[in-house]
Structure 1
């Protein structure tokens, strides 16, 4: 048998690229034909390479198929692109700036610090419309309104002051539809930093302009100690007295390591229905008997019993769930003043930032996996609805990043910005090290100690000056050493 020739990753990547272009029906190959094939509706859909000439960075781009009417590129994340000069400046700063511990006073952050009202940090609203408008006129009106919103926002704030936020109009359109068609809004946040993901302008718009109720779901409660959970509930209640607050976790009473281990071993996720009771009680209080939620309560108890009986409920024996994939016509025909609890059905809209666990909560409420879950922000691309019971409907919305003044490094550490698209990790690492005892956790040796042990024999790593560059280099060398051992 002849010996195989070496096949590099670069060759494999090029082979897959040619295969995708052939599948799309492109006659040519290379970047020119690829760029020509993804032009749609007069808008050029470029990739995330450094050669991109626009000022918007497009994340999670998917190959576009001409045979399918659905274009996955339409819902990819759009963030402002940083220039090469800014990236190089941060790299240089990471090599020179010494890490200094941040005081407890500097760690205190309020909602007003992240979303100051005087900065005009709202969110784009859907312009007024009616059924007499044509589809083309409605789309043009939305585009004009969105463009005016961006121009006003950027004129009020200097360049670089705003954090990463969503620039994709298609994603905002889905968000508008979810707000219009939902009776109760489930605003889902990560309990480890809820003020980062709770825009006050959104709350006031839902409760004031739309006259609807909001249930704040503090997700991932198992990752925080109970005193911290109580403190966050007290803080949010003091800021928003009429807000319904619910703590939720998909893995109650289990340490984080045990949860990860079970995820690797079990074929399907270990779903919990403990938080569903609290959400049900909040919805019962809001609806005040106008919707029959007894079927939902029976389902929660039935699923809890089946979960305790290990292995008795197989996947094929689970209840069927009606899934509605929303098309463009369905998204555009939602009424701007929709009747609440129409036909006796309660519609719950699940909204929130990327990576807060919206899909996991929907899976837990349904009792089985109906939504794909990923650690990558922006995994959910388009909204769809699920009938939990004949009188309760869930509506899943893609994660949206609202404009704010939060530090971009904190956004990255919180999982809002995809790590795979990060151009330099040093500033984020430095931000984290200044707020944690990184030396005792990572157990690193300073590079100067490794280079000249005799010169610094009387000093420890704690006494030497550290930079973010040192931490990254030492961690990488430490990982390589462990791999060789």
Structure 2
């Protein structure tokens, strides 16, 4: 048996270094390795975003340890000037300028004589034409990130077609960024349906700000129904901010806003739909609490959940009659992470939709029957095109 050759620490270090380089894909050294690293960085960057972003180095590190130079020594002495009140303000026209053509893709006309394949081809062609027109009106890099998945837009089309009343849910902390005027005008104008603006997460803002937002949205859209909503009512504004947003067990029956949504729907339907069962459900859920906060009727009441298939969604009637068969269909739409799932859970008074901090958690179109005469339609979150800066977005 041959004698083993001695293996020094220097050789072992060189061997490990070579193994690490092979794992990273850096087979060379020196300039070639640096070029490979630069190529990887270019591939990881967003090539579609042509605008350059100045990165503010908060804690710059010195390149060499020699000397006593510290680049962060006087950084905290720089005075930060707060923005003025006017610079903090933004209007809907600043986010969705009318002259920019920042609409959303519409479903092309169709009939029952068309085959499924022809319908899909027509929708794809119309969607491509919409994107071409949108990019031709706006310079490259000026648009914000927005939804490019046609399947998600199709689910919005189905919800708008089959719903009688639309709940447009926004986060009250920045509702202007999440209220596309083109969507509101399309629903109230071409479809002839009513919109209820739900200012969700009202517990995260002080009451004067809530009143100010309601006044502003009413001044911009006089015929808009506005409802404030919160999943944790009765808590002080400062207390809510100190608590964790994700509770171990949420109590959906204590939400503030379901009764206001009911009153808005009663005003819109004007007695054409019997909503007494919905009112009884809200009052029953609000009063079915024990002293320790546990529900008395858990498991005694079921909620019918329907998962819509692609074929069922594709062949909805383009001109569906309002309140068909005496049922009020309420569609829930909005941007990702505005709390649509929490609103639906609060209306049902139990958890039927999973809730997550991750935007875009809801991915499929579903319907929920609150009562035999009230049905909810949940649509995945959609980001509409705007001119908001990508970094701010």
Q: Normalized against structure 2, the TM-score is what?
A: 0.79
Contact 1:249 1:272 in 2 (8 A): no
Native 8 Å contact 2:288 2:296 kept in 1 = no
Q: Residues 85, 313 of structure 1: CA spacing in aligned structure 2 closer, same or farther, 3 A cutoff?
A: closer
Counterpart of 1:384 (choices 366, 378, 393) is: 366
Taking a change above 3 Å as real, the CA distance of residues 364 and 267 of structure 1, as seen in their structure-2 partners, is: same
The 5 Å alignment of 1:178-327 reads: 178-255=159-236, 257=239, 261=243, 266-307=248-289, 309-313=291-295, 316-327=298-309
| CA offsets 1:152-187 (integer angstroms, 9 cap, x no match) | 101110111111110110000000000000000000
Structure 2 residue 125 is matched with structure 1 residue 144? yes
Structure 2 residue aligned with 1:121: 102
Inter-partner Cα distance in structure 2 for 1:150 and 1:103: 37
Query: Is the counterpart of residue 350 in structure 1 residue 332 in structure 2?
Result: yes
RMSD between aligned residues: 2.6
CA distance in 2, matches of 1:166, 1:264: 27
The answer to whether structure 1 residue 82 and structure 2 residue 82 are counterparts is: no
Cα 1:132–1:264 shift into 2, 3 Å:
closer
Aligned to 2:32: none
The answer for unaligned runs of 5 or more in structure 1 is 1-49, 58-80, 412-485
- Judged with a 3 Å threshold, the aligned counterparts in structure 2 of structure 1 residues 241 and 92 are, in CA distance, closer, same or farther, namely closer
* 1:333 CA displacement: 1.6
Return closer, same or farther for 1:52/1:181 CA change in 2, 3 Å cut-off.
farther
Residues 170, 198 of structure 2: 8 Å contact kept? yes
Q: Distance in 2 between matches of 1:273 and 1:406?
A: 32
Q: Give me the TM-score of the superposition, normalised by structure 1.
A: 0.65
Aligned length: 335
Shift of 1:265: 6.2
CA distance in 1 between counterparts of 2:48 and 2:327 reads 52
CA gap 1:295/1:131 in 2 versus in 1, 3 angstroms: same
What is the rounded CA distance, in whole Å, between the counterparts of 2:81 and 2:390 in structure 1? 19
Secondary structure of the structure 1 residue equivalent to 2:272:
coil
**Residue 262 (structure 1) shift:** 7.5
2:367 is equivalent to residue 367 of structure 1: no
Structure 2: gaps spanning 5 or more residues = 1-39, 61-77
Q: Secondary structure at the match of 1:360?
A: helix
CA pair 342-51 structure 1, distance change in 2 beyond 3 A: farther
Counterpart for residue 340 of structure 1: 322
- The 5 A counterparts of 1:45-124 are 82-83=46-47, 89-90=52-53, 92=55, 101-124=82-105
SS in structure 1 of the partner of residue 108 of structure 2: coil
